[in-house]
Structure 1
Amino acid sequence: MLTLIETAVVRLEQQAKLEQAPPPVTLNVKALRCLGNTVGITHQLNMREAKPQKAANKLRDETIPQLRKLIEQNDIDSYDERAKSVCSDFRILVERCVEKILFNDVLQRFRRSVETKGKIGALAKITAGDCTFIDDLMTRYSAFEHSQPDELPAVLPNIDDLQADVEELATWISNFEKRAAV
C-alpha cells in the first residue's frame, strides 16, 4: 500500500512542477512498530526504508564504528547479533540500489506499474562492471537475508571487509548518480 501512495504523491509532485505550483501534498512516512504488547509505536524509518545513499552513509559513518566499539569491548554476543542485523540490512540496501539506483525506479517491488517516463534513459548508464559489482554483493550477503542450511551456516564477514563493502557501495552510488547516460 505504501508503494501505491508513494507513486500517487510522485505523480502529484510532477504535475505541480509542470504547473509551476507547490505540490498539493507532501509525504512524511513513519514506521509503526510493536514492542511487547504495545502496538502502534511510531518511529523514524529504518535502514531498509531510507534512500540508498543516506542508508549507505549511515552504515559507514554510524553503524560500522558501533560494531568496532563492540569488538573493542570484547562483547562477542552483542557483536554477533548486531553484525548479523547489519549484514541483513546491507543486503536489503543492495536490493534497493538495484531498484532505485541501477533501474532508476523504473521497476519497483510491490508497485503495479512500470514507470518509464523520464526514467528509462538512465538505464543506459549501466555497465557490465555495475552488474558484476551488485551481483557480487548480492551473492555474498544473501545468507543474511535468506534461510541457510544448518550444515552450512552463514559466517559473518570480517569487520574490515564489511566496512570496505559499505564504503565501496556508498562511493558507487555517488558515482553512478553523477554518471552521464551513454
Structure 2
Amino acid sequence: MSISHPQRVTPIAKHIPEFRTPAPGVPVRSEVRLRAKPRTGAGGGVDGAWWPRSRDPATEFPELVLAMSSWVGPVRRVTYHPDDWQAAAHELTVEGWLVSLVGSSTLQANTVAVVGPGQRRMSLLVVPPSTPGGIARTVLRSATGPGNMSTVEEILANNGIDSGSARASALPPSMSGDFA
C-alpha cells in the first residue's frame, strides 16, 4: 500500500483493494466505514469514528490498519478495550508489517487507539456493529464534525446509543453474562 499522503484526511475511507487475506470463510470487503476529523477541527475527545461489522479483531483490525495508514503511517499498535471485543491474538501481520494488539481496560470503552511511527496516534470512537445504518452514519458524522468536542459517551447518548449496553451486546451470550 502506498503511503504518499500520511496527513491526508478524507470523509470516509471506502476502498482498500490491497487487503485480500481475510479469515477462512470470511468474504473480502472493500469498504471501511471510517471518518476522521479535519486537521483544522477542534481537538475534542476523539479524532475520528469507525463502524466495524463485527467485534472480531482478526476480521476487523486488518482493514482498519490499512485505512489508518493514510493518517498515522504504517500502524504499529492498535489498543482497544477488551470488554468491547472478542479475544484476540497479541500480534497481527498486515501487508507484511507486524501490528501489536493491546487490550487495555484503562482505555475508554467504545474507542480504539491507532499508533504509527514516531508515536503518531489517532483515537477513534467505535460505533457498535449492531447499530442501525442511519444511526451509525449519524454518529460517524457527529463524532467528526470540525467543532465537536463531545466525549464518546455524549456522542453515543446524543444518538440514542447506551454505551454500556453496546458493550454487553458486543459479545456472544456465553461471554456477556446473558445465560437465558
Tell me whether the two structures share a fold, i.e. TM-score over 0.5.
no
Structure that is richer in strand per residue: 2
TM-score of the aligned structures, taking structure 2 as reference length: 0.30
Q: Which has the higher contact order (CA 8 A, sep 6+)?
A: 2
Higher radius of gyration, 1 or 2? 1
Structure that is richer in helix per residue: 1
